[in-house]
Structures are given as structure tokens and as C-alpha cells.
Amino acid sequence: MGQSTNAMLMYGYHLGSADGGWQLHGLGEYDELPALGWYNPEDEDGIDFQSAAERKLMADIAGFTEEWSSEAEGYFDRERAAKARLGVEFDSHCSGDYPMYVLATKVITVYRGDVEEIDPARDLAVQPDWDDKLRTALDILGLNPTQKSARWLLCSYWG
């Protein structure tokens, strides 16, 4: 089994994490997340921050609330289509054991040993609707990043 060591270039907001420090306004006395109706870190069901946030966005933006079951033929096709309608995605960086989160509209990942040619005019041109999509997602989630505006973020992943 190999070890992933990836470089990631993302346009969006760095949100941080519980382990690495949340990069959000409105944190509690011990830098914990504010009360969020869609996520409770103390729940025993084991759903992590990223999964809970994606579920909330899928429901509110894409209208997708279906849960997977072995009888749900075509579930993954419907889920993939709903994710495409979001216009944003969560990605994690840092490590698999201690993920830190970014909410992004564009993610370029270069895997260990690969080289990715990037044409800045083509690949890094910020689309007119990206900031609005990010702001809508943040508003739905009730998150207020310390980062003043969306920007290109270069991150690493080891896991």
C-alpha cells in the first residue's frame, strides 16, 4: 500500500479544522465550532464535518436527500449529478488522520510523481459566478471564514 503525497491548488476558503484550528469567526470559548443545526461533533453516529456539510449543501442547493441503500439502483449516478449542481466542493488537505478543510469551486490535484502543466490564463481564470457560489454555500452552512475573500490556495496532502 502506497502513501499519497499530493499538491493541491484550490480556489475558495480555508476553513481549518478542530485539530488544526478552525479558520472561522464566531468560535466558542475553546475555539470550538458555533452551534450548527446540520452538524454536532458530539453525535455518536460518526458523521464527520465534511460529510455533514456536503449532505446539507446537497439537500439545500441540489435538492438531493436520498440515502444510499443496496436497493437504490442508480443512486451513485443521481448523487454525482447532484454534486455537479452544487458548483462547490469540500476537499481536505494536511493528512488523512488530521484533515483540514477547504470549500472550493476549483480544485487541481497533482499526485506524487506526476507533473501537471498549468496554463494560468485557462486553468486559473476565476469564473464570474465562483464567488457567488461560495458565498451561497457559506451562508447555507452558517460559516464565516476569517479569510476576507475567496482566493487561490496551495495545499499539500499526506495520507
Map residue 123 onto helix, strand or coil: helix
Q: For residues 108-115, give the mean pLDDT.
A: 91
Q: Which residues pair with 24 in a beta bridge?
A: 145
Alpha carbon distance 115, 121 (integer Å) = 18
Q: For residues 75-84, give the mean pLDDT.
A: 93
* Cβ(10)–Cβ(107) below 8 Å: yes
Alpha carbon distance 28, 130 (integer Å) = 30
Over residues 135-154, the pLDDT tens digits come to 999 999 999 999 999 999 99
Map residue 2 onto helix, strand or coil: coil
Q: Which carries the bigger pLDDT value, residue 47 or residue 36?
A: 36
Q: How confident is the model at residue 39 (pLDDT cuts 50, 70, 90)?
A: very high
Q: Is the pTM of this model over 0.75?
A: yes
Where are the domains positioned within the chain? Answer: 5-158
